[in-house]
Structures are given as C-alpha cells and as structure tokens.
Amino acid sequence: MMRRGWREQGELVRFRLGPRECVLFTGPEAHDAYFRAPEDQLDAKAVYQFTVPIFGRGVAYDVAPEIMSEQLGFLVPALRETAMHRFARIMFEETKQFADALGEEGEIDLPAAMNALTVNIASHCLIGEEIRDQLDAGFAEAYRDLQKGINALGFFLPRLPVPSHRSRDRARRKVAELFSRIMAGRRLSGAEPDDFMQTLLRARYKDGRALSDDEITGILLTVLFAGQHTSAVLATWTGLELLNAPASLAQVRDEMQNVYRAPGATMNFETLKRQAALERAIRENERLHPPLILLIRKVLKPMRYGGHVVPAGALAMVSPAVSHRLPHVFANPERFAPDRFAPPAAEDKQHHYALIGFGGGKHRCMGKHFAYMQLKAIWTLLLDRFDFRLDAAIPAPNYGSWVTGPRAPCRVRYRRRPEASLFQ
C-alpha cells in the first residue's frame, strides 16, 4: 500500500490508520528533513512506549530524549575500535562452536539457526561472559518471553493485563535479578571484564551519579533488543540471497581466498574489514530486506515540507522497504546486485540518505558497524565450512512480525566442504 502511495502521491503520502492520520516521507530529500527535525517536533518517545515494560522504568523511551541520549552515550566507548577487535574474536569463536555442532550434513531452519547464533554472540559481546554462560540457566527463556511482549496488542495497550504481558513482566523481573546477581558478584570480586555491563558500571551521569542496577539492566536490554533479532534477520536474508546468486557467492568465496589464504591468516577486525564484496552483499540485503520496515515519530509541532504542512498529532513515518526500491535512486531496484555499491555507480554514496536501513539523525543505529562485522564473521566461517543449498524460491517477507524476516518454512540444506578450511 505504501509503495503504491509513493507511485501515486510522491514524497509525502497521507493515509489513515484507524483514527490516526499518518504521513509517509519517501526519498533522500524527504528523509533528510525527517531525520533533521528536532525531537520537540518529531518525537520517538511517544511512539515507542510499548518498549517501557520491557526495557524498564527510568531508561530509554521512559525518560526525556536528552537523558536517553546520555544513557546510550555511555556505551560509545564499548563500541570503539579496541572493543571491536575483541568482539571480532568472540564472533569467530561463537560461529565456530555453532558450525562444529552442525556435523557433516543436514538441514536447518535458517531463521531459527541465525537467531540462536546471534543470541550467543549478542549476550557474550553486549552483556557479558557470565550471561553467555548462563544462557541455559533461564536467561534464554526469559529473553524469549520478553520478545513475545512485542506484539500488536502491546503496541497499542502495553499495560493490558493479558497472559503474554504477565509473562513479559515476570521475565523482566527475572532478568533484573540475574543481572543484579552478576553485578553484585563483580563488585565483590573486583572483576572488571571488558564489556557493556562493566562500561555501564563505570559510567557516571553529568551530575556525578552512578547508574542503578535497574538502569543498567534497562540499557542492556535496550541494546539487546535493538541489535539481536535485527542481526539474525539480516543474516538470514544475506544467506538466502547469496545462495540464490551463484556469481555473487563465487565473488565472496574468491575474496575469502584472497584475504585468508596466507599462512597464519586469522579472522580479525582488520581482515573482516577487507572483505568488501561480502560487505556489498550485506548492504544489498539491507537495501532489499531492511529488518525494520517502518520508523515512526509522533508529530508534536506542525512540520512543513515541499509546500505541505504535516499537522501536529499525526504519525510521521519513513519506510526503508519503500525507499530502498526507488528507481531514480537505485537502478533496476528489484534486482539483487551487490555491485551497484562498487565504483563507479556507488549507488549508496549518491545521497547521504539513500540507504536508511539503520535509520538516521539523532536516533541512528549505534550498532551498525557491530552488525556488519557480525554478519561478515558468520557468513565467512559458514561458507568456509559448508556448501549450502536452498531447494525452494526465497520466501516472501513476513510483514506480520515487528522485524521483517522471511516467511516459514525457510529450510536450507548443508554439507561439509571437502576442501581444507581457511581457519583453524
């Protein structure tokens, strides 16, 4: 419907969702205006209230935008280059463990497999080793129950006392207990592992105040929810599209040979950066299959754009799924063509906001580089170990879920490669 809206009405499409007026902004110039608008004009907080029972009180969308930004800012040191070197190692080790468990050949449900792997990576990198070790001790289950709290009912009535919301609230309490126990253990032992939890334990607000255990739990959950499922879904699409495009797959495999064939070459932050063909393939999946298809803000003050006024009270939206298929921005937009991002076309460089799969402006994703590195590590190691086969066509997107993955069934066959592995 939104794609048709763009064809018929152009950059601004007005429509109604129940009682609410909505306006979709499409195209690089419109994105620019959208992402530049101040928070007191286009407000994210009002729209993302459904996350408050999950992330908790006093953090993220429950606090003023400047406090949320201070809280997320605490994590910036945890995503600097030195930390990324460590994360690259963890991504490699986790994927290796996952690949070893697959055995010689078989069939996997790709979305479920990518979900399991990214939960391991995210809990290990983003929260801490203790949580990774305790995944079986209730965290994974609590995380699943929290995820079930993200549904259409929760979006409109987040506090309604229905069973899924009750188990969501129980799970939030359980995660708080688990994280508090870990923080108490660290304080007692003096252990200071280099991870997000420790970064938050060290952080201080501008007024010198330390964060409470519950605030730390909330910020960690914010990052986990922002980064895990989205990564799993983009990893799934990347695998599906590569299996369906033999020439692109061969290019990625050749590049792996070039980067890793030297004796003693290991997978690390530097070598992953050199995998440009794989990066273009991931970017093409960000374009064709953005995991978040709709970003929403509430209009607090009327906004002028292109001779129109978007009224206060409306919902203002951008849709990466619509914007990434504009024929005047991306040549032959329905085609999977990773080389569109290589020079000279470099279609992503033609405008700052041509690609918006990771958002833009103040709320742009802070984990984009982490996500790209993770997807590269996963597919490099899996393609090194296995040949994969997709027997059916690539499934259509499942728009019924908050993060848009492929519809079930989505099974992929694999067989261990006879060639010697590039990695120990």
Q: Which chain residues interact with ligand HEM by CB under 6 A?
A: 44, 72, 126, 222-223, 226-227, 230-231, 234, 291-292, 295, 357-359, 363, 365-367, 370-371
Give least dist CB 234 to ligand HEM, A.
4
Q: Which is nearer to ligand HEM, 25 or 358 (CB)?
A: 358
Q: Which is nearer to ligand HEM, 53 or 260 (CB)?
A: 53
Give least dist CB 115 to ligand HEM, A.
13
Q: Which helix or strand (DSSP H or E) is residue 20 part of? A: strand 20-25
Q: Which is nearer to ligand HEM, 122 or 422 (CB)?
A: 122
Q: Which is nearer to ligand HEM, 287 or 422 (CB)?
A: 287
Token pair of 389 as six digits: 């086969």
Give least dist CB 251 to ligand HEM, A.
22
Q: Which is nearer to ligand HEM, 6 or 358 (CB)?
A: 358
Q: Which is nearer to ligand HEM, 123 or 260 (CB)?
A: 123
Q: Which is nearer to ligand HEM, 27 or 260 (CB)?
A: 27
Give least dist CB 38 to ligand HEM, A.
14
Measured CA distances, 73 to 160, 206, 337, 366 (Å) = 32, 11, 36, 9
Give least dist CB 230 to ligand HEM, A.
3
Give least dist CB 226 to ligand HEM, A.
3
CB contact at 8 A, 178 and 221 = no
Give least dist CB 91 to ligand HEM, A.
11
CA 301 to chain centre: 30
CB contact at 8 A, 219 and 72 = yes
- Measured CA to CA, the distance from residue 333 to residue 337 in angstroms comes to 9
CB contact at 8 A, 325 and 68 = no
Which residues, 6+ apart, have CB-to-CB distance to 74 below 8 Å?
A: 199, 200, 203, 211, 219
**HSE-up of residue 375 (Cα within 13 Å, Cβ side):** 30
Which residues, 6+ apart, have CB-to-CB distance to 154 below 8 Å?
A: 50, 53, 164, 165, 168
Q: Which is nearer to ligand HEM, 128 or 357 (CB)?
A: 357
Angle between helices 368-385 and 213-243 (to 10 degrees): 50
Q: Which residue is nearest to ligand HEM (CB)?
A: 367
Token pair of 269 as six digits: 């932050």
Give least dist CB 80 to ligand HEM, A.
12
Q: Which is nearer to ligand HEM, 227 or 397 (CB)?
A: 227
What Rg, from alpha-carbon coordinates, does the chain have? 22
Give least dist CB 13 to ligand HEM, A.
19
Measured CA distances, 36 to 10, 30, 60, 216, 356 (Å) = 20, 10, 20, 29, 14
CA 205 to chain centre: 27
CA 134 to chain centre: 23
